[in-house]
Amino acid sequence: MHVYLVRKAKYLKDPLDVRICDISAPSSVIFIGVPWDGAVAGRPGARFAPGKIRAAFCNLPRNIDVEDVGDVDIVVGNPEETWRRIEMVFSSITDKEQILIAGGDHSITAYAYKGLTRRKKLSYVVLDAHLDVRQLSEGLSSGVTTRLIREFSGDTPISIVGVRRWANPRYMFEQAERLGIEYYTMEDVDKMGVDEVVEKIKTAHKHYDVYLSIDMDVVDPAYAPGVNAPSPGGFSSREVIMLVTQLSKSLRPLAVDVVEVTPAYDVGDVTSSLAAVLLYVSIWR
């Protein structure tokens, strides 16, 4: 009676079409979720994104083995303990060539980065509409991530791509320059072209292992509506796929995350699907 029972229904009966999660095996490339959104000041719900992104990622073709190691065990309502756990989990990863991370709000990046720096000195490249160097008087915000990365990184290079001038207060540009953070606005990308931006970033980061973070609000909300802080004038899905592909081939990042996906505001899971593809094309092996 159990002959026709399966763990997961497969609707397409093509035995040669093998998807990434059809075969589970140890790999030097791992997938890990961080379902935390306790630092969101805008649209909450990013805690549900790892499940959505994982589902979309698992449906992509298996061209390389990726090991899904599960999710960080976060503590709702306790940011300090959650961030400590994130840091400890990533500090314990010592034998992998590449780590694919599905967030979560952008605060998870700072503590994943901090954990990984126990192993290696890392530079930081982020695709983001925002500079994320806020000076808070109280409370929490994922908009402090790049400033925290600077605190944790010392003097390693930091580059931001996709900044919108209308999405950041004036003081942040001055703050970014004081902190020695290189940034490229969408106007810069339009003038220079993706190839030149990638080449400049490659030159700046060539002596370092790299953490690449992708805040999904770098994509125009027409292509990625399900994000915490949508900002018009971003990349199309095709442009951001090309950019991530080129950056990953050039930088061979140790870790790549996608963050700030908010499934409740998505349309047909298009934002989660794009996030999954960006993790997929970031695999440089």
CATH number at residue 153: 3.40.800.10
Return phi, psi of residue 234, to 5°.
-95, -170
Lowest mean pLDDT among 22-31, 42-51, 60-69, 104-113: 22-31
pLDDT band at residue 72 using 50, 70 and 90 as cut-offs: very high
Domain count, the chain: 1
Q: Is residue 266 part of a domain?
A: yes
Residue 136: pLDDT band by 50, 70, 90 thresholds? confident
Mean pLDDT of 108-128: 96
In a domain, 34, yes or no: yes
Please, what is the average pLDDT of the chain?
94
> How far is CA 221 from each of CA 150, 190, 263, rounded to the nearest angstrom?
28, 18, 13
Confidence of residue 18 (pLDDT cuts 50, 70, 90): confident
Q: Using CA atoms, how far apart are residues 17 and 15, in angstroms rounded to an integer?
A: 6
Residue 246 belongs to a domain: yes
Domain hosting 44: range is: 29-133+143-281
Q: Is there a domain that residue 14 lies in?
A: no
- Which comes out higher in pLDDT, residue 102 or 22? 102
pLDDT score for 226: 98
3-state secondary structure (DSSP) of residue 185: strand
For residue 234, what are the contacts with CB-CB under 8 A and spacing of at least 6? Answer: 129, 162, 164, 186, 217, 218, 219, 220, 221, 223, 224, 240
Percentage of residues of the chain with pLDDT beyond 90: 85
Split at pLDDT 50, 70, 90, the class of 6 is: low
Is pLDDT above 80 for 24?
no
Q: Give the β-pairing of 122-127 and 67-71.
A: unpaired
3-state secondary structure at position 117: coil
Q: Are 179 and 144 in contact (CB under 8 A)?
A: no
Residue pair 226/271 in contact (Cβ under 8 Å)? The answer is yes
Q: What residue ranges in the chain does DSSP mark as E strands?
A: 29-34, 67-71, 98-103, 122-127, 158-163, 182-185, 209-215, 255-259
Q: What is the pLDDT of residue 5?
A: 66
Establish whether the linkage from the previous residue to 104 is cis, with ω within 30° of 0: yes
The residue behind tokens 């908009």 is 143
Please choose, from the candidates 201, 224, 216, 234, the residue with its C-alpha nearest in 3D space to the C-alpha of residue 101.
216
